[in-house]
Structure 1
Amino acid sequence: MSLPDQWRAARPKVAGVHLDSAACSRQSFAAIEAAAQHARHEAEVGGYVAAEAAASVLSAGRAAVGALTGLSDVVFTTGANHALDLLLSSWPGERSLACLPGEFGPNLAIIAANGFEVHALPTDGDGRLDVEASAHLLAADPPALVHLTPLGSHRGLAQPAAAMSAVCAGLGLPLVIDAAQALGHLDCRVGASVVYGASRKWMAGPRGVGYLAMQPELAQRLRPRLPPPEWHPPLSVLQRLEHGETNLAARLGFSVALGEHLAAGPESVRARLAEVGSMTRRALAGVEGWRVVEPVDEPTAITTLEPTSGTDPQKVRTWLIAERGIVTTYAGVERAPFELTAPVLRASPHVDVTLGELEQFAEALAAATAQV
């Protein structure tokens, strides 16, 4: 059975057309059942006894994150925002950070809330990182941390994460990667110091789960605020970072989703998603009133549609759901406040999408544009 057929067969039948994996993918039967089974076990034996029984599966989930990131110290969080906040609030040194001008808006809010001064990394005209210019800038004025989002929320451009990692390693600068869109989509074993992200996007796990993966040396530098370090018995940094009172059922579902991804073959998934992106852009290239932002051969499955005639992407998204059962994403300028100048529509199908579904979307998009 092909990868698309395997993916589709492993999940409940979709009600319509799901082109929203960059927001929240569809979970598998196995991931759903793992979470439900744990909830039943909590009811049978109590939450804390059930938590002890789940320890080995959760350890396997952390190991899977480690395998996909190349980083051995892994803690579960409630999501990508929580992971970044944990990291930055625990940072003991100078509070300065370099990132792309198109950085995700909520990340910028967390960076500011933790008192970090932000320096913009140089990019080309499309918003792609200029590695050589960045190397010169970082060497001349090194920040405490370099932050890179290899695949953004508002645009499907793949950033040169491996090349940037090599630059940071040469300068002795910690590179922090936001892999919320990248894990399960692009190769994240690039030699970064930190990789963090969420379960619900391309990994197709439950909502409300994330991860923070770190090099051990960097993890030991952190000084988490809670609980106090003088508590007895003393807790390790990782124990202090990973909050115990959490939804373990969701973490178990994520662990199962990670295992399914590894079983499918990360390289095969990445290749198929690149193919899906090309299929999507070709299918949408001729829809009047919209411009496809990404190059056809960009190796990602995120396609951004920019209105060219004043159409409101939010109204189009609402119409597509109500009239055709097609789920896409409305992306307002707050997603990248220093790069986006107007709202856009985002399509992000997973590996199981068919050409027929993309053609159906193209026809519906034209109809929606005429209606709204």
Structure 2
Amino acid sequence: MTLWSSIKPFWPLLFTFVLPRAVNYYAALKTAYRTRPPPRPLPKRTSRGLNALFVSICVFLYASWPLRGDIADHNVFVATQSRLSVPTDVLFERLAMLRENGALSAADEALRAKLTSPALPRRIRMTDGLMVYDMNSNDNVCDSLRQLYLRFGPSTLRDCLFCHPDDQISYLLYHLPTNTVLPHLFHVLCLGLATSETVGGYEASTWRRAAVFGALVLAGADVFLTATYAPPVAISTVAPAGTFWLGTTARYLGLCAFDIALALCIYASATGRFYLFPSTSAGGPGSADAELARRRTDELLTQANLALQMAATNLRAYSIARNAVVRNPALKDRDDAYWRAVVAVEREREGEGTGVGGDDVDNDTLYEDEEVQAAVARAYGTGAINIASVRREAEAFVRHATRGLDG
């Protein structure tokens, strides 16, 4: 029975139901893509929220790099390409060859002391009525310590003061706060900053609840896996990777992917770039667009009111300064002298322009001279200027400013 004959009974279903609906969906998507509204520009506040997420992504991406940080925190079995059952002295002799000057650091010596079989009393068993020390008990403890090293990493095994090899819960309680919970707390802090309406605007704040809920679910899953996932590693395994290092890389890559997905969602909601089927139902993109338009209108009104208040404040300050000048005799005399000097200078210029006491040179002709325009352009640091255009703009400004004074 060939493949062609085996799918032949499904032809009616395929050509009757599946294929027409697929063609209709394709046509609907194509029409929606062509008729969708143009994307909106990205607001400045939303770009600030996306920048906060970008910083978080960069931090987590760097933290996921396996070769980062202190060399003492690297996996000694991977660094030396040794088996899990290698003797401790041989393991650290190989490690010393990789260190600077062929000497172990203080952290390496502390880890060596922890991985060495501890001075615990040997277990006693009764054989033919005689008490016999179990010579393999310390070897079992040493193997357990290496399993704990692969599960919780060197810092937990080296720095924990209240931990005991027979009590793995003590290592877990020491390991969780700094290695598992702290990165997720920093992640939630970055999400709160990026989705804050004050920092990221309204578009980012609409994703705040979903982002925090997803981050908490991710943190809970991470804590659960850290507490329960402890696969045993065979002692004959060469260069065991270790759950601690694999989990650290996976944790930070997961947080990085979460932030990337959230940034794409915020960007899409802020610009409307990927909305093909806008809905006007409650809670849909249509209602979100209406709320966004209302909030943007409120922001524009707030900015306009602030600008009007600043203008009113400046006018009030000018009025107060003008009243102070008018009421002070000394300042009033200086103001009058200034304006008399200005009037005299203008009269002299008008007299020179009409040929009084000199050549008959028109003022407009003087300003239209190429050398004069070049000198004015150099003075203002711009290109060629149009004197007639500047004069028209000045006259329009004067008419607008004195419009309420006519009549």
Structure richer in helix, relative to its length? 2
Q: Same fold (TM over 0.5)?
A: no
Band of TM-score, shorter chain:
under 0.3
Larger radius of gyration: 2
TM-score where L is the length of structure 2: 0.16
Structure richer in strand, relative to its length? 1
